[in-house]
Amino acid sequence: MTTVLPVRAPGAATSLRPAGDERSTAGSPAGRARQMLGHLVPWLVRGAMGVAVLAFAVLAVGPHLLGYRTMTMLTASMAPEIEPGDITVATPIDVTGLTEGMVITYHMPVGDHSLVTHRVVSVDHAEDGSVTVQTKGDANDAIDPWTAGLEGDTVYQVRAVIPEFGHLVQLLRTPVVSQVLLYGAPALLAGWLLMTIWRPTHDENEEVRP
């Protein structure tokens, strides 16, 4: 079998792609910017959705399924172990197993009885089964000016610290960000999905006519 190969005549000009074909060049700066934005937006959406899902799982689902509690540290009384804006994860333990050195979260017996997270410096187990403790913040110079009686059979011991996550939680709770997430995130996700479905595709091996 004889194969006939096309031979370009001497002096014949090589056909070039039309000037308007973006595939013939690296593209204009505006075109490159659009291309970079097209690649960046999906990852931003995925990242935002991933953070939202993680925050929901840790703060809303986990405590109900696993029984732990989370609290955002507001002061520097436990620095540097727990800084303001960190989130503590505490699990319940039997109050009879409480010992010095543990970091616990409990209601202070003075003022507005708000929650406090401090280290136990002394424990008193009375004969009637009641337990009283004295605590101190690691960054404080003095022991807390009260003796707290622990009610119930359990107390919450801090097991883990999530650095800086509380700042994100507080940001998500602001009215402006909440509205943006409520309406903007679904709209952005829907737009990205539509772009993915309707984005025109080009065959790299497609013949380009002059």
Please indicate, yes or no, if residue 51 is contained in any of the structural domains: yes
Question: What pLDDT shows up at residue 206?
Answer: 47
Q: End-to-end CA distance of the chain, in Å?
A: 32
Together in a domain, 80 and 147 = yes
Please indicate, yes or no, if residue 91 is contained in any of the structural domains: yes
- Mean pLDDT over 77-100 rounds to 94
Range of the domain at 179: 32-64+167-197
Together in a domain, 114 and 177 = no
Contacts of 149 (CB under 8 A, 6+ apart): 109, 130, 131, 132
Q: Could you give the CA distance from residue 116 to residue 137 in angstroms, rounded to a whole number?
A: 9
Please indicate, yes or no, if residue 7 is contained in any of the structural domains: no
Together in a domain, 158 and 74 = yes
Q: Percentage of the chain with pLDDT > 90? A: 40
Together in a domain, 50 and 120 = no
Please indicate, yes or no, if residue 181 is contained in any of the structural domains: yes
Together in a domain, 129 and 53 = no
- Mean pLDDT over 110-129 rounds to 92
Please indicate, yes or no, if residue 151 is contained in any of the structural domains: yes
147 pLDDT higher than 90: yes
Looking at per-residue confidence, does 188 or 46 come out higher?
46
Together in a domain, 114 and 132 = yes
Burial class (CB in 10 A: 0-12, 13-18, 19+), 116: buried
Using only C-alpha atoms, the chain has a radius of gyration, in whole angstroms, of: 32
Together in a domain, 105 and 148 = yes
145 pLDDT higher than 80: yes
| Sign of the dihedral through C-alpha 39, 45, 48, 50 | negative
> 3-class SS at 200?
coil
Question: What pLDDT shows up at residue 84?
Answer: 93
Residue 137 binned pLDDT confidence (cut-offs 50, 70, 90): very high
Together in a domain, 79 and 101 = yes
Q: Could you give the CA distance from residue 75 to residue 136 in angstroms, rounded to a whole number?
A: 13
Question: What pLDDT shows up at residue 59?
Answer: 74
Best-predicted range by mean pLDDT among 23-37, 41-55, 157-171, 193-207?
157-171
Q: Could you give the CA distance from residue 209 to residue 91 in angstroms, rounded to a whole number?
A: 70
Please indicate, yes or no, if residue 178 is contained in any of the structural domains: yes
* Edge-to-edge strands, sheet with 69-72: 69-72, 87-94, 154-162, 103-107, 115-125, 131-136, 148-150
Together in a domain, 89 and 139 = yes
Together in a domain, 93 and 52 = no
Together in a domain, 125 and 146 = yes
204 pLDDT higher than 50: no
Taking alpha carbons only, the member of 37, 68, 75 closest to residue 158 is 68
Place of tokens 């079998």: 1
172 pLDDT higher than 50: yes
Question: What pLDDT shows up at residue 208?
Answer: 46
Together in a domain, 83 and 126 = yes
Contacts of 56 (CB under 8 A, 6+ apart): none
Q: Could you give the CA distance from residue 136 to residue 116 in angstroms, rounded to a whole number?
A: 10
How many domains would you assign to the chain?
A: 2
Q: Domain containing 159 — which CATH number?
A: 2.10.109.10
Residue 129 binned pLDDT confidence (cut-offs 50, 70, 90): confident
Please indicate, yes or no, if residue 5 is contained in any of the structural domains: no
Please indicate, yes or no, if residue 101 is contained in any of the structural domains: yes
> 3-class SS at 134?
strand
Q: What is the mean pLDDT of the chain?
A: 78
21 pLDDT higher than 90: no
Alpha-carbon torsion, ordered 139, 145, 147, 149, to 10 deg: -80
